[in-house]
Chains A and B, each alone.
Chain A
């Protein structure tokens, strides 16, 4: 008797638990997905029209995508985002990978404090970083330049490279370095021919993280960028703040697809990394 009620109680609990988790997952994913169908709205509304719900083909359209492509601000913005993102990623990935290699060595002096300093840009509120940078770069006469923005985005992205390369290196067998040295390789050759190929997936993951960071960064752009630094997030920001138009939803859909591609790439890289280290 009690066993049955216990059993029923356990089942009820299990269903409640699953239902709760389903609700949380819907809360996480649905808001991202709802933007996609709405971006094909023929009307300038942010909700499903009756026609859309009836699947009336006239209620759906590509007009906002047309606007995005024909209007002269989104494509230049994409170009600037890509340029700044690529430059920042190269700097962040190079410096971040080297630092992670150093930090992975058991002989690294002051490891804890160095790590804390290198990762601090990731947890410092972006508004503080942006305010400080706006003082700093305008004092240097570098306000409103690509250079300042690239340096800023590089330092924001570098922690992600340090983390993902460090994770890759945590499975690295340091005997390999000694083996390479015994075989006559100098430090540089060991790095290039032994270490880097093994941690390549971690480096690539870090680079994707760094690029995604720059590609989505708006506050520093607002504070130190000028009219020549109108990136995609900058345009979205003013679109949302001033006059939100369904064009924003079309751009958002593009960014969701971009995020999905990034996530797929990172997942694939992680599996490769896992396969290699285990």
Chain B
């Protein structure tokens, strides 16, 4: 009799625990996971052109793509362009086609205007080619057809510097348009460098914190936490103040006679600025995990190694370092994860050369308005972060993610 009672009690507890967690799970699903899903949908789904030009695209669907489409297609397309332009809806379509074949924006808008001003009699084909010779090119029609694909991998292809050739095969972008792969690689390289610098700076300090007397350790920890709690924007402002051309550091170097007035260093609005400011921002995320692991390593281990005849460096390398590795892994992974998606600091102090992949996402979101490409770049970055997050969970454990 005890058996079913116990299991129903367990079920009861399970239910209660689940019900307590459910509201936040639901909240995260709706306000966080759903927006991420919305972004991923945007990265492969762009129905605007398909919706705007249904007849043209329907007619182009049967076209073989080798020679110019037939006269009927010209007529359908031309009249659809004119009708769209009258509703002022051609501009956004033209922008999207232009991303696949540059020059198409003015081709489309110019043709629509010319056709409206002087309606062609029976030869739409002649009239359109007269309005813009691009219509005599197969590539223009191919671009139009491809822009009309509602579900498309092209944003991901573009985000990896790839494109599709005339027959739909995957080709690399022309050399001058290959920017994203090198940006991704650069983001990786810089994140690695910043993580390494953080580890180098944090390790000795974390040691000091971990093996100092409790009161002193408490005070030093407070110093580490001051910048951690200070607004990111404030810290970034500080670095602008310190590093700019007429800033505190350059003034100091000039006043001390180390630099001549005209030799002031360019420390900000470039990669140097990004690295300095990001190391500052991310250093506490390295110090704290290291500190919490090192605290558990007894002082006695180093003493024992020394009494067994190990030199200080041997003891450090063979006894202390292996025991501190969990902290090194936790801190490095965390800093690296935060690094590869960092946006605010590079955007404010990175200038032209100190930008990471996040800046490109912001650029396509806000300036070029190529949301599909922004979403695809975001999707790639999200995949990388998710992979690192899983590794972190396996290696360190998510529940250790307490940043304090």
Q: Is A102's CB under 8 angstroms from B222's CB?
A: no
CB within 8 Å of B: which A255-272 residues: 255-256, 259-260, 262-263, 266-267
Q: Which residue of chain B lies nearest to A241 when distances are taken between CB atoms in the complex? A: B348
B181: interface (CB < 8 Å) = no
Give, as a whole number of angstroms, the nearest-CB distance from B114 to chain A.
35
Q: Is A28's CB under 8 angstroms from B27's CB?
A: no
Q: Is A260's CB under 8 angstroms from B226's CB?
A: yes
- Total interface residues on B, CB under 8 Å, equals 90
Interface window among B16-24, B50-58, B105-113, B135-143: B16-24
Q: Is A121's CB under 8 angstroms from B251's CB?
A: no
* A119: chain B residues within 8 A (beta carbon): 398, 401
Give, as a whole number of angstroms, the nearest-CB distance from B230 to chain A.
4
CA distance A130 to B168 in the complex (A): 33
Known contacts A127-B358, A128-B36, A135-B39: does B24 contact A99 (CB below 8 Å)?
Answer: yes
Interface window among B68-76, B124-132, B150-158, B338-346: B338-346
What interface size band does chain A fall in? 35 or more
* A163: chain B residues within 8 A (beta carbon): 401-404
Q: Is A233's CB under 8 angstroms from B246's CB?
A: no
CB within 8 Å of A: which B150-195 residues: none
Specify which of A13, A25, A114, A134 is in contact with B205 (CB 8 Å cutoff). A25
Give, as a whole number of angstroms, the nearest-CB distance from B69 to chain A.
34
CA distance A21 to B315 in the complex (A): 20
Give, as a whole number of angstroms, the nearest-CB distance from B79 to chain A.
31
Q: Which residue of chain B lies nearest to A91 when distances are taken between CB atoms in the complex? A: B27
Interface window among B59-67, B83-91, B231-239, B323-331: B231-239
Q: Is A31's CB under 8 angstroms from B239's CB?
A: yes
* B399: chain A residues within 8 A (beta carbon): 115, 166
Q: Is B237's CB under 8 angstroms from A116's CB?
A: no
Give, as a whole number of angstroms, the nearest-CB distance from A94 to chain B.
8
Known contacts A132-B378, A158-B28: does B251 contact A124 (CB below 8 Å)?
Answer: no
Give, as a whole number of angstroms, the nearest-CB distance from A129 to chain B.
7
* A241: chain B residues within 8 A (beta carbon): 348
Q: Is A267's CB under 8 angstroms from B401's CB?
A: no
* B341: chain A residues within 8 A (beta carbon): 124-128
* A136: chain B residues within 8 A (beta carbon): 34-35, 38
Complex interface bits, B267-287 against A, C-beta within 8 A gives 1, otherwise 0: 000000000000010011000
Q: Is A116's CB under 8 angstroms from B389's CB?
A: yes
* A107: chain B residues within 8 A (beta carbon): 10, 13-14, 16-17
B196: interface (CB < 8 Å) = no
Q: 8 closest pairs, A vs B, by CB?
A: A125-B341, A102-B20, A132-B35, A102-B21, A136-B35, A132-B39, A105-B17, A99-B24
10 contacting pairs across A/B (C-beta < 8 A)? A34-B242, A95-B24, A96-B24, A98-B23, A108-B21, A116-B389, A131-B374, A133-B35, A218-B233, A223-B365
Chain A interface residues toward B at CB < 8 A: 9-10, 13, 17-18, 20-21, 24-25, 27-29, 31-32, 34-35, 38, 45-48, 91, 95-96, 98-99, 101-103, 105, 107-109, 112, 114-129, 131-137, 139, 151-152, 154-155, 158, 160, 162-164, 166-167, 187, 209, 212, 215-216, 218-219, 222-223, 233, 236-237, 240-241, 244, 248-249, 252, 255-256, 259-260, 262-263, 266-267
